[in-house]
Amino acid sequence: MGNCAIVGINWGDEGKGRMVDLLTGQYDVVVRYQGGGNAGHTVVNGHGKFALHLLPSGIFHENVVNVIGNGVALDPENLISEIESVSAKGVKIDSNNLKISDRASLLLPWHREQDALEEARLEDRKYGSTKQGIAPFYSDKYQKKTVLAGELFYPDELRENLSELMEWKNLTLTGVYGAEPFTAEQLEEWLENYAFKIRPYITDTGKLLREAQAAGKNILFEAQLGSLRDLDFGIYPFTTSSNTTAAFAPVGSGCPSARIDEIIGVVKAYSTCVGEGPFTCEWFGEEAEMLREAGGEYGAKTGRPRRVGPLDLVATRYGVKVQAATCIALTKLDVLSYMDTIPVCTHYLLGGEKTDEFPFPAALPGAKPVFEYLPGWKKDISNVRRFEDLPEEARDYVLFAESGIGCRIGYVSVGPERDSIIVR
Ligand code: GDP
C-alpha cells in the first residue's frame, strides 16, 4: 500500500479531516507535519463530532500511532485543552498512541498576543489571522527565537533560555505595540499548567518513523489548510506561514527519507475561503447565503462565516499541480442538491484575455471568472454509495470537474459521516 498524504487543494476546509478519518484504519501511523491551532479538521464518527486543531485525525482509531511532527506550531495550551476535551468523550489518548516530536518548536505564550496586537494595528488592512499566534511563531522559529519541545526535559536551561526570549519579546510588545510586558510569573504558570504536561508524549519521532518505515509500516501524512494558503505557492501574503504542500511532509514529519506513494488532494464540490485575500469566484447576497447555509460554512476554529462561491477549476488545477496530487476526493457533493443549475468556473479573464493559468498573486485581484452552467439533480444523494447510483446530472458534474481538474476523482463524499462516501 505504501505511504499517503492527504492534502487540501484549495483554500482549506475542503474536508481533509473526514478523509483522514475514513482512511486511517488502513495505516499504522498518522502524522501532522505543519501548521498549528489556527485551523480545524472536523471529524464526525461513532464517538461524536470533533473539531481537531493539533491532534492528528487518526486519534479515533485504536492501534494507530499519531505523531505531531517537528514542522507543527506546537501550542501546549491548545494541545492540553484538546486532549482533555477529546478524552472526555471516551477517546483513549496516552503516550502509546500520541507522540510529539522532541524537535517541534513551542508556540510561546506571547505569540498569540503578538498576533492579535498586529492584526489590531493593521485595522482594515489585516490579513484575517485567526490570532492563534502562528505568524509570530514561525517568524520566531526561523529567527531561532523559540525553544524545542525536547528542552522541556532540561528545565534549568529551558528557564534560562525562556527568560532571555521573554526579555527580547518584551522589547517588541512594549516598544512597538505599547502593550504590557510578560512577567516571569506568567511564564512559570504557563510552564507548570501547560508546557510540562506535554512531556509524557515527547519522543524522538524521527527515529520512530524511520523504524516504522524499516518495518514496512504505512504512514499517512495529514496536512492543514490547502495549496492556495501555502507560504511559497499560495496567494501570498494571504497565505498561512507554513508549507501546506505534500512535498513538505517528509521534512515536517521528521522523516526526510519517507517516500509518498499516493497524494490524495481534497477538493470541495464548490469553493469556500476563510479570511482575507482575492477570491475570484466569490458570491454575495442571497445566493451566497443559501450556499453557506446548505454547506454549514462557518469556521471550525472561529465560527466566522466562510466566503463561498462555485467550483473554481482554474484555482483547483493549479492546486493539484502544486500538490502533485495522484487522486482527488471530491467532498460535499450533497450540498449542491438544492441548485437548479450549477455554475463552474472554467477560465479567468485577465486583462481582456481568457486564461487557463492561475495568476501571480499581484494579478489575481484583476481576474474575472468565466462560468459554464451544468444542470442540477435536485434529489437527496446523501444515501448513495455507488457512483452508478448517482443521478445522471450528478455523475456529469463529477466527470466535468474531473476533466477540468485534470486528475482522477477516486472518492466522492456525500455526507459528513465516515461511511457517506462513494469509492470509484
Ligand atoms: P478540513 O479542515 O479540510 O478537515 O475541513 P473542515 O473541518 O472545515 O470540514 C468540512 C466540513 O464539512 C466539516 O463540517 C465536515 O463534517 C463536513 N463534511 C465533510 N465532507 C462532507 C460531505 O461530503 N458532505 C457534507 N454535507 N458535509 C461534509
266 - beta bridge partners? 8, 329
* Residue tagged active-site, from 13, 75, 102, 230: 13
Percent of the chain with pLDDT over 90: 83
Give the range among 44-58, 118-132, 142-156, 170-184 with minimum mean pLDDT.
118-132
Residue 126 cell numbers, joined = 489585516
In the reported structure, the alpha carbon of residue 14 is separated from the centroid of ligand 1 by a whole-number distance in angstroms of: 6
What's the pLDDT band for 278 if we cut at 50, 70, 90?
A: very high
Positive/negative CA dihedral, 155, 136, 119, 172: positive
**Cα 206 from Cα 4, distance rounded (Å):** 17
Give the range among 142-151, 153-162, 253-262, 329-338 with minimum mean pLDDT.
253-262
Nearest protein Cα to ligand 1, atom 12: 15
Separation in Å, CA 321 to CA 5, 194, 260, 328, 369: 15, 40, 15, 12, 20
**Cα 203 from Cα 95, distance rounded (Å):** 10
Residue 128 has what pLDDT?
63
Residues 6+ positions from 85 with CB-CB distance below 8 Å: none
Contact assessment for residue 86 and residue 94, using Cβ atoms and an 8 Å cutoff = no
CATH of segment(s) 267-423: 3.90.170.10
Mean pLDDT, the chain, whole residue set: 94
Assign a CATH topology to domain 109-198.
Adenylosuccinate Synthetase, subunit A; domain 2 (1.10.300)
Question: Ligand 1: which of 331, 380, 420 to mutate, judged by most atoms within 8 Å of the beta carbon?
Answer: 331
Residue 304 has what pLDDT?
81
21 catalytic? Reply is no
Interval 206-210 mean pLDDT: 94
13 lines ligand 1 (CB under 6 A): yes
265 lines ligand 1 (CB under 6 A): no
What's the pLDDT band for 47 if we cut at 50, 70, 90?
A: confident
pLDDT at 300 over 70: no
Residue 120 has what pLDDT?
85
In the reported structure, the alpha carbon of residue 382 is separated from the centroid of ligand 1 by a whole-number distance in angstroms of: 13
41 catalytic? Reply is yes
21 lines ligand 1 (CB under 6 A): no
Residue 126 has what pLDDT?
66
41 lines ligand 1 (CB under 6 A): yes
165 lines ligand 1 (CB under 6 A): no
Percent of the chain with pLDDT over 70: 98
In the reported structure, the alpha carbon of residue 62 is separated from the centroid of ligand 1 by a whole-number distance in angstroms of: 23
Contact assessment for residue 99 and residue 69, using Cβ atoms and an 8 Å cutoff = no
The structural domains of the chain, with segments of one domain joined by +, span: 4-102+203-264, 109-198, 267-423
pLDDT at 181 over 90: yes
Interval 226-239 mean pLDDT: 95
Interval 188-194 mean pLDDT: 97
Q: Which CATH superfamily is domain 4-102+203-264 in?
A: Adenylosuccinate Synthetase, subunit A, domain 1 (3.40.440.10)
Predicted confidence (pLDDT) per residue in 102-132, tens digit: 999 999 999 999 998 998 888 777 666 667 8
414 lines ligand 1 (CB under 6 A): yes
Provide the angle, in degrees to the nearest 10, between the axes of the packed helices 134-142 and 109-122: 110
What's the pLDDT band for 8 if we cut at 50, 70, 90?
A: very high
**Cα 63 from Cα 66, distance rounded (Å):** 10
pTM: 0.92
272 lines ligand 1 (CB under 6 A): no
Predicted confidence (pLDDT) per residue in 83-105, tens digit: 999 999 999 999 999 999 999 99
Interval 376-396 mean pLDDT: 98
